[in-house]
Structure 1
Amino acid sequence: MSEPKRFLAYCDKLFTPSESFIPRGYSAFSELKPVYIGHELRGEVPEGAEVIELGPLHGRGGEAAFKQLGTISSQLEARLKEVNPVAVHASFGKSGAYALPIASKLKLPLAVTYYGGDATKTSNTKDSFIRVYNRRRAKLWREARLILPCSQFIYDELAANGAPTIKMKVHHNTADPDRFEPGEKKDLLVFAGRWTEKKGIDTLIAALARLGEELQGWTVRLIGDGELKEGLVETLKAAGVEAELPGWVPADEMPKHWAEARIAAVPSKRAKSGDAEGLPLVCIEAMLSGCALAATRHAGIPECVKDGETGFLVDEGDEAALADRLARMLTDRERTAEMGEAGREFALSDFNLQKQSRKLESYLLDLARQARTL
């Protein structure tokens, strides 16, 4: 079998711990191999990964000239050509804007994946000459060969702001079924995410405060940190709700938390800034782990949570409705278990990392063949 061809995988801040889904998205590739490029290493480099840090390769003007003006130094051009790439795949719209001059200079087809706030935040959708992404947004959509929104919701958001639908294909977020499996279930409810407005942790805590004795016998585990945590912890205490607060948990440790949980709470909502989810990975991870979901009708969540079948959906910010659905799940363990089992089957079928990874590779191969770079 011949050696895989390389492609450039651009993410400006590489290997950020909360973005481990990016390298995992390439895990089933067999004909192509990513060469990661960007300006900052935020986390541990995966074993065997090939990485090119762009900073030392810029000429006069440095990183600023590259990002603001699209200047490609001869040194950078030569180094990237050494790997003989056949395409460029950028993760997040902003990285797509930065990757655009590289794709143009090397005459490579460009694909860009959108995940959430990069398509929904007001700061990213408004007109602005100052911000590179906003300034290049129309050009990015015009020159990129493929745009991959992570949910139908993100597809619709992009289309409403002028992205060409003819270039877009929904490519759902996924999780690895080899990592997330049901374990020995406990009476455990888990939330995992940043304690920010978008994640709806305030709605969940308000709902928990309404439940009172119905929480008896159950463990509540609220994972994560963020700007709202201090005040919301006080709210928990005032309501007499006991909860485990382990703080931030590395992605590699999350499977054990989902494995033992019966219920996963995903109460996301749109923030005042316009920031919204794409399709939260915690939904897929929890479903693969056999958890029933208590979630909101927000962004791509209804694309993976079937109301009444794999969990319950309520409107964003509706603490009373969320408390009602949680009460049903807490008291009817048999139905909750059935929803968890149904969710796992749905996730295995439609949100399987290996299937989606192979699909992404096929997209990039098609682009390379069409551009005759392969």
Structure 2
Amino acid sequence: MAKIVLHIHDLGLGGAERIALKWIAWLQDMGHEVTLLLGFPPDEVFFQAPPGLQVVTRPIGSKESTWRWLRSYLAKYPPDLAIGVSTRPSINLLLANVGKPWRVIVAEVNYPPAKTLPLSWWILRRILYPRAALHQVQTLRIGQWLEDSGLTSHWRIVSNPVEWPLPIQDPCISPESCLPAKAQVVLAVGTKPHQKGFDRLLQAFSLLANDHPNCWLVIAGVHQSHPYLRQTLSAHVNGQSRRLLIRRVGNVGDWYERADLFVLSSRFEGCPNVLMEAMASGTACLAIDCPTGPRELIQHGVNGELLPENVDAQKLGNSIATLIENPLKLERFGREARRIRELYSPSVVRKQFEDVVQQALDPLVMLFAPTRCSPSETFIRSNLAAMPLRQIAFFGDEYAGTSNSPGQMAYGVAILLSKVCTRLGLQRLATLPSSFIAYWLIRCHRPDVILVEFGFHAVRVMDAVRWSGVPLVVHFRGSDASADRRLRLLQERYRRLMRIASAFIVKSRPMKVVLEELGADAERITISPSGANPTLFYGASPANAPPRVLFVGRLVEKKAPLDALEAFAMVQQRSELPLHLDFIGEGPLRPALEVRIRELGLEGQVELLGFQSPAQVAASMRQVRCLLLPSRVAADGDSEGCPVAVLEAQMAGLPVVSTRHAGIPEVVLEERTAFLAEEGDLEALAYGLLRLLEHPALAAQMGRAAQRHARERFTVGNHISTVASVLGHAAAQCHRSRHS
């Protein structure tokens, strides 16, 4: 398992310290080797480290800054992962991490903008936070603030767990020894009086004290001698004999149960442990809706009461008074509040934390692709959305005016310059701009593996990959491994790419053969069709659909839309059925199709629908008898990889009429899920199409078989899993070679 260090200021009394020790226990249970690094020797240790945990404290009296001490220690004992608890420890870890391979998780335990950082620390946070592998936050609002501030795009929520029953430790102070038996108790808990708003709570209590002589205010965690509270205590003397401030309480659960009302008067929080503990204890709760946490925990009027963030002491006092005068409401709030035990149980939160740790330990993938904007590149967008590994992506067509990321803009401009050099015939210069910028991005983000979509794009960045030593996986899609024009132009660079790359992903066996002929090792090539989404493509009913045929694809030569039209025209002449053919897609052959439709007199039976979204395509597949999708090798040698539409149609439950071309025979079962013809054999295409149109029962039978076949082998999940496996294997091999 992994070597993990966790850095925090100290183990004094506080919620961050308590949850940090809980994380350590979970990490140890997972089998990780854990070290706790304390930045300051504590004046007083409240929480004890678990047995067997290695605790390293910055030397007393050391003149060395915390980040230098961390960097020196971690250079001797390098971890796989470091976790910084709160802002300044995280910044110190990230500063110590500059130029080092281990990763950092920033664990925010408060709402960052609530604390003003000195300018130097603010600048360091701005520079260093984006370098973290992941940001772990306690609420949605914290994560959104970090993202909106440009400090991270990778954050996950890990709530605080509710331990029940609450742990007990020294010192134990019995409520009965301090309070009258029939006292009404308003309780607050915390160690930081400004953050917890204890000054305004004391003022609010002073305003209600005279009218409620049986009401006591108890604040556990601070003493009345605290310098922040002295002025408030002396200014608001009403009910001073019924104010009880206790510095340390090890049996806080007994105080929650004794209280009639718990009040959270905080100015800011992360995810307030004390509020969660009070609710778990069945105590009625009143909270100010500060950032952040209370609104995630309290449903106003159901399991507690929320006051506006800007509430003053008068309104706070009135709300407390109203509640303690209504014992039935207090009982109802307390009963509903107990449900938090299940929602935030240790088992639920532990799973969140384990997922974050595993995600930070997983390889970071850097993706380079020519575009994500083209309608035909939906597979790239789906890969990004579904990829289980951490990733950062850069696209060749996004530059000034289309992106807010300096790295993305630089990459887009570099690819533009590379294309200009290619057009001018300056082949040797063409890769320099993109390689230099790609190398800079690799150095900045330190990925574990690089994935490049399309072989022709990979040659633009392969030098950067070679300079960096990061493993490269190239995803060939079709034309990049088939078109004669591209292969002739890129042949020498492709041969070099075959030597540089660690692995290749292709769509079909013919593509694999092409790469082998260019010098790729067969063992480094994985065949994986792109796959279809079963949650989108479903519900086709060929037997009940009208004799309607569907074509889905770009209107280009390799998709053979004119072959599809001619085959349909032959069937239309031989059948008396009211046949119809829909073309979904756009491309340069549209004018030729329009002309030929008029020549054949099929204006009323053939419709060109243009580009449609995946959801519209899926809906169309539920309204037709079959998919007609012939393919052929284009005049320039361009060929299919494996048409995604064939997989989507089968996933939906449609039979297919297509050709023995590229990867198509590998993803259908001939005569069982599809009828196949040789390229250009219009008679065979028409024969298969006629059989399905005139025999609905056969179409239904083949559609059911197609759906079973696709769901077993060709879901997008299967494809993403294969891609992630190849990437993970390449990263692991590189990691082993570096440490062997």
Name the TM tier (shorter chain).
0.7 to 0.9
For residues 353 and 28 of structure 1, the distance between their equivalents in structure 2, rounded to whole angstroms, comes to 9
Aligned to 2:599: 238
Aligned to 2:456: 94
The structure 1 residue matched to 2:645, chosen from 266, 282, 298, is 282
8 A Cα contact 1:36 1:51, kept in partner: no
Alignment RMSD (CA, Å): 2.8
For residues 234 and 138 of structure 1, the distance between their equivalents in structure 2, rounded to whole angstroms, comes to 43
Give the 5 Å matches for 1:1-374.
1=355, 2=357, 3-4=359-360, 5-30=363-388, 32-41=389-398, 52-55=408-411, 68-71=430-433, 77-126=439-488, 128=489, 133-183=490-540, 186-187=545-546, 188-211=548-571, 212=573, 214=575, 216-241=577-602, 242-372=605-735
Give the paired residue count: 362
**Gap regions ≥5 residues in structure 2:** 1-354, 422-427
Query: Taking every aligned residue pair, what percent have the same amino acid on both sides?
Result: 24
Structure 1 residue 75, shift from structure 2 partner: 6.9
Can you list the C-alpha shifts for 1:300-348, whole angstroms capped at 9, x where unaligned? 1111121110020011111111111111111000001111111111111
Structure 1 residue 82, shift from structure 2 partner: 3.2
Amino acid in structure 2 at the alignment position of 1:200:
A
For residues 246 and 318 of structure 1, the distance between their equivalents in structure 2, rounded to whole angstroms, comes to 26
Say which SS state the counterpart of residue 20 (structure 1) adopts: helix
For residues 576 and 473 of structure 2, the distance between their equivalents in structure 1, rounded to whole angstroms, comes to 47
In structure 2, relative to structure 1, the CA distance for the partners of 1:63 and 1:203 (3 Å cut) is closer
| TM-score relative to the length of structure 2 | 0.46
Can you list the C-alpha shifts for 1:116-139, whole angstroms capped at 9, x where unaligned? 11111111222x4xxxx4442111
In structure 2, relative to structure 1, the CA distance for the partners of 1:243 and 1:365 (3 Å cut) is same
Structure 1 residue 77, shift from structure 2 partner: 4.2
Structure 1 residue 268, shift from structure 2 partner: 0.5
8 A Cα contact 1:262 1:340, kept in partner: no
In structure 2, relative to structure 1, the CA distance for the partners of 1:95 and 1:73 (3 Å cut) is closer
For residues 20 and 51 of structure 1, the distance between their equivalents in structure 2, rounded to whole angstroms, comes to 23
Query: Greater CA radius of gyration, 1 or 2?
Result: 2
8 A Cα contact 2:541 2:653, kept in partner: no
8 A Cα contact 1:40 1:53, kept in partner: no
In structure 2, relative to structure 1, the CA distance for the partners of 1:15 and 1:215 (3 Å cut) is farther
Amino acid in structure 2 at the alignment position of 1:367:
A
For residues 67 and 347 of structure 1, the distance between their equivalents in structure 2, rounded to whole angstroms, comes to 45
Can you list the C-alpha shifts for 1:22-44, whole angstroms capped at 9, x where unaligned? 131244433x22211132149xx
8 A Cα contact 1:221 1:244, kept in partner: yes
Structure 1 residue 228, shift from structure 2 partner: 2.2
* Residue range with higher mean Cα deviation, 182-191 or 276-285: 182-191
For residues 165 and 286 of structure 1, the distance between their equivalents in structure 2, rounded to whole angstroms, comes to 31
For residues 722 and 429 of structure 2, the distance between their equivalents in structure 1, rounded to whole angstroms, comes to 30
In structure 2, relative to structure 1, the CA distance for the partners of 1:220 and 1:214 (3 Å cut) is same
Structure 1 residue 260, shift from structure 2 partner: 2.2
For residues 73 and 93 of structure 1, the distance between their equivalents in structure 2, rounded to whole angstroms, comes to 15
Can you list the C-alpha shifts for 1:155-175, whole angstroms capped at 9, x where unaligned? 123223433323212122211
Say which SS state the counterpart of residue 345 (structure 1) adopts: helix
Amino acid in structure 2 at the alignment position of 1:95:
H
Say which SS state the counterpart of residue 25 (structure 1) adopts: helix
Amino acid in structure 2 at the alignment position of 1:227:
P
Structure 1 residue 62, shift from structure 2 partner: 7.8
**Gap regions ≥5 residues in structure 1:** none
